[in-house]
Amino acid sequence: MKEALFWNKEKNLVKCNACKRHCVIPEGKAGFCLVRKNLNGKLISLVYGKNLTSEIDPIEKKPLFHFHPTSKVLGVSTFGCNFSCLHCQNYSISKEFDESMINSIKFTSPEKVIESALKNKVQGIAYTYTEPTIFIEYALDIMKLAKENNLFNVFVSNGYMTKEVLKESKKYLDAINVDLKGNENFYKKVCGNIDINEVKENIKWIYKNKIHLELTYLIVPSFNDKKEFFEETINFVLSLSNKIPLHFTAFYPQYKLDYLTSTSPFTVMQAKDLAEKKEVKYVYAGNLKKEENSFCPECKNLLVSRFYFNSEIKGIKKEKCSNCNAKTDFVL
């Protein structure tokens, strides 16, 4: 256990300021995420050093398509989440656990994580599978060491952290993929009474502060699969930049929504086509096991070829299109 960052006392209670829920926690209880607990009037992280992940993944799996394509990352995750999505694919570690399960996990120091990354010759660390915000103390300590060892740091996030967390993370964070899950109603009913406007404000902050940003919209049949919902998301992206990579991905039945059917490929392609017609420069159709190539917006030259997380840089030379010499929107 480790004393948490981002909290303050309120009489005999503690208030967590890691995410926008701002849980006010009585003695002996944990916040909504189940891993930040009030012990003797202090906020404690129950999951510091409790890394559940040792997988090495292609960066494309996060998905980050425009950030160091073809690179490999070592994953870091712990128990807990500040959302309660009915369709969570990692529910066994985000919600279906207790404190005894946390305690059973062997401690892995930040130094050991970096040692593993270097041994396996990956290029970066991905804080993923569960929300990085709820294990931010562990993440920050690893991130600092990663930068000292010339490794990049990427978050896969729901985007519901506080500005304090964002500002501290910015010192070490290189890229982030934020799930932009649907409209206001979807966030309230499916994700656990979440304010979508807070997520959008954080996305704006991330973009303004020049952290590499990509967005993912998982299309859940009968919940967020209408054209008007796609348009709302597309228009929000365009209000920032038409060059932000946008991933529309297919849903497969999970957790409390396991009674649904998978997303129709037609629906995913409909969303992609709509975004392209509105001139979003980089739109991808994910989870379909098909090519997800990147093309130059100016001359349509193939820049990066991809098939199910396998990628190859084809038409980029010194961050420019090898055909028309236009600047490409990739971090290499």
Averaged pLDDT for residues 157-181: 98
Q: Report yes or no: 220 and 257 within 8 Å, Cβ to Cβ.
A: yes
Per the structure block, which two tokens stand in for 6?
Answer: 């981002």
**34 vs 52: CA distance, rounded Å:** 16
3-state secondary structure (DSSP) of residue 163? helix
Is a pLDDT exceeding 90 seen at residue 11? no
Choose among 86, 85, 94: nearest CA to 47: 94
Give domain 48-284's CATH superfamily.
Answer: Aldolase class I (3.20.20.70)
Alpha helices in 68-183 (DSSP H): 91-94, 99-103, 110-119, 136-148, 163-169
N- to C-terminal Cα separation, the chain: 38
Per the prediction, the chain carries an average pLDDT of: 97
280 by DSSP, 3-state: which? Answer: coil
At 1, the pLDDT band (50, 70, 90 cuts) reads confident
The reported pLDDT for the residue numbered 6 is: 98
300: pLDDT strictly greater than 90: yes
Helix (H) or strand (E) holding 188: helix 184-190
**Cβ neighbours of residue 171 under 8 Å, at least 6 residues apart?**
none
For 34, which DSSP code? S
Give yes or no for a contact between 98 and 107, defined as CB atoms under 8 angstroms apart: no
Tens digit of each residue's pLDDT (9 = 90 or more) over 211-262: 999 999 999 999 999 999 999 999 999 999 999 999 999 999 999 999 999 9
Instruction: Examine the pLDDT at 165 and tell me if it is beyond 90.
Output: yes
Cα separation, 281 vs 266, whole angstroms: 20
CB 270 within 8 A of CB 227: yes
- pLDDT on residue 250: 97
Structure tokens at 112: 């050991």
The residue among 122, 139, 121 whose CA lies nearest residue 130 is 139
Cβ-contact 16, 7 below 8 angstroms: yes
Predicted pLDDT at 308: 85
Hunting for tokens 């967020």 — which residue is that?
224
- Determine if the peptide bond prior to 63 is cis (ω within 30°): yes
Q: How far apart are CA 55 and CA 129, in angstroms?
A: 11
Sequence-separated (6 or more) residues with CB below 8 Å from residue 201: none
Q: What is the pLDDT of residue 149?
A: 98
What is the domain partition of the chain in residue ranges?
Answer: 48-284, 291-332
